[in-house]
């Protein structure tokens, strides 16, 4: 038995420049100046938009340093606070992941953070034991067909959904990020902001069908895809020239977001994880 089907809508809570690698090595103060208060004010209209739908927010810890009230606002509205990374950039080695976890330990402990989403959905197998050590229950850091649930070194992995156009894969070692081999294997990563801007109608249909089949799709959005920062995406024009593949993230996804919330039941990932764990312990 799986938990009752629901849409596992998630939000990687990061500033508008996090899609570009040009800001990774700046000082935190400089990044904060670029953010210009966006991630501080956008939380209120986002929470209002969510209404009674509960979702999981994966926070960039640096934003908690800038705006300490953020996690409490999310918790008070009944949502889950998860962890995306402390500073948004690719975590290329196990040491990078370890260091990132160390830097975020205090605020994660304060808010009892149990869910993890790797930046760029780029996971490594060796990171799972570190997640156990850091009190995580689950991760959502791979792409895989909807309904895939994996156990890795004591951590549940609930991947971001793909729609399998050919035979379902049977090998789920990390990393399984957005790349050509994923697409060549017939997996359509519809739940990523890379795709959801181009095919909103098809994505709605896929989700509807999967829910009818008793599955719980995992999809993610970013704040800037739903509510626009000041002069955005125009102010990233140069980034789009340097990194054209990030352009799909600039497409507004407000309509899809609103329609999904209106049409389907949601829950936090942690609630889903706890139901899975409960079911398994009874069998
Ligand atoms: Zn991210």
Q: What spacing in Å lies between the alpha carbon of 211 and ligand 1's midpoint? A: 26
pLDDT, tens digit, 9 for 90 and up, residues 211-244: 999 999 999 999 999 999 999 999 999 999 999 9
Mean pLDDT of the chain: 94
pLDDT, tens digit, 9 for 90 and up, residues 67-79: 999 999 999 999 9
Cα radius of gyration rounded to whole Å, the chain? 18
Cβ atoms 191, 217 nearer than 8 A: yes
By DSSP bridging, strand 155-157 and strand 150-152 are antiparallel
Q: What spacing in Å lies between the alpha carbon of 19 and ligand 1's midpoint? A: 7
For the chain, what are the domain ranges? 8-282
CA 48 – CA 222 distance, rounded (Å): 16
Average of pLDDT values for 251-264? 97
What fold, for 8-282?
Answer: TIM Barrel (3.20.20)
pLDDT, tens digit, 9 for 90 and up, residues 17-51: 999 999 999 999 999 999 999 999 999 999 999 99
pLDDT at residue 238, rounded to an integer: 93
CA 14 – CA 58 distance, rounded (Å): 8
pLDDT at residue 184, rounded to an integer: 79
For residue 264, CA distances in Å to 53, 54, 223 come to 9, 11, 20
On the question of pLDDT at 126 being above 70, the answer is: yes
Q: What spacing in Å lies between the alpha carbon of 85 and ligand 1's midpoint? A: 8
pLDDT at residue 116, rounded to an integer: 98
On the question of pLDDT at 1 being above 70, the answer is: no
Instruction: Identify the band that residue 271 occupies on the pLDDT scale cut at 50, 70 and 90.
Output: very high
On the question of pLDDT at 177 being above 90, the answer is: no
Q: What spacing in Å lies between the alpha carbon of 118 and ligand 1's midpoint? A: 8
List the strands of the sheet with 155-157, edge to edge: 150-152, 155-157, 138-139, 115-116, 80-85, 56-60, 8-13, 218-221
pLDDT at residue 102, rounded to an integer: 98
Concatenated DSSP letters for 54-117?
Answer: --EEEEEHHHHHH-TTHHHHHHHTT-EEEEEESS-S---SHHHHHHHHHHHHHHHHHTT--EE-
pLDDT at residue 185, rounded to an integer: 82
In this prediction the pTM is 0.96
Average of pLDDT values for 117-124? 94
pLDDT at residue 130, rounded to an integer: 97
Q: What spacing in Å lies between the alpha carbon of 140 and ligand 1's midpoint? A: 12
By DSSP bridging, strand 115-116 and strand 150-152 are unpaired
Q: What spacing in Å lies between the alpha carbon of 265 and ligand 1's midpoint? A: 24
Q: Which two tokens stand for residue 69?
A: 């009230």
Tell me which of 13-17, 22-26, 194-198 is least confident.
194-198
CA 74 – CA 72 distance, rounded (Å): 5
Q: Name the most confidently modeled range: 1-10, 22-31, 164-173.
A: 22-31
CA 67 – CA 105 distance, rounded (Å): 17
Q: What spacing in Å lies between the alpha carbon of 16 and ligand 1's midpoint? A: 10
pLDDT at residue 282, rounded to an integer: 85
Q: What spacing in Å lies between the alpha carbon of 194 and ligand 1's midpoint? A: 12
């Amino acid at each position: 038995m799986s938990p009752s089907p629901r849409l596992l809508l998630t939000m990687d809570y990061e500033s508008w420049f996090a899609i570009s690698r040009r800001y990774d090595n700046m000082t935190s103060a400089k990044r904060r100046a670029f953010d210009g208060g966006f991630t501080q004010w956008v939380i209120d209209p986002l929470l209002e938009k969510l209404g009674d739908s509960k979702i999981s927010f994966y926070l960039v810890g640096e934003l908690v340093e800038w705006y300490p009230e953020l996690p409490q606002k999310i918790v008070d509205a009944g949502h889950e606070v998860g962890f995306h990374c402390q500073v948004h950039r690719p975590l290329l080695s196990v040491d990078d992941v370890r260091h990132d976890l160390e830097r975020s330990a205090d605020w994660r402990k304060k808010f009892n953070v149990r869910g993890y989403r790797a930046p760029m959905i780029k996971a490594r197998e060796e990171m799972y034991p570190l997640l156990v050590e850091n009190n995580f229950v689950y991760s959502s850091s791979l792409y895989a067909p909807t309904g895939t649930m994996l156990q890795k070194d004591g951590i549940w992995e609930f991947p971001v959904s793909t729609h399998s156009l050919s035979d379902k894969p049977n090998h789920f070692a990390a990393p399984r990020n957005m790349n050509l081999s994923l697409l060549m294997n017939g997996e359509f990563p519809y739940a990523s902001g890379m795709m959801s801007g181009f095919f909103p109608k098809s994505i709605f249909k896929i989700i509807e069908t999967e829910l009818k089949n008793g599955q719980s799709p995992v999809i993610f959005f970013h704040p800037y895809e739903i509510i626009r920062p000041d002069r955005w995406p125009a102010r990233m024009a140069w980034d789009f020239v340097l990194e054209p593949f990030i352009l799909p993230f600039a497409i507004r996804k407000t309509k899809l977001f609103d329609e999904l919330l209106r049409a389907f039941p949601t829950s936090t990932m942690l609630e889903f994880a706890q139901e899975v764990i409960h079911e398994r312990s009874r069998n």
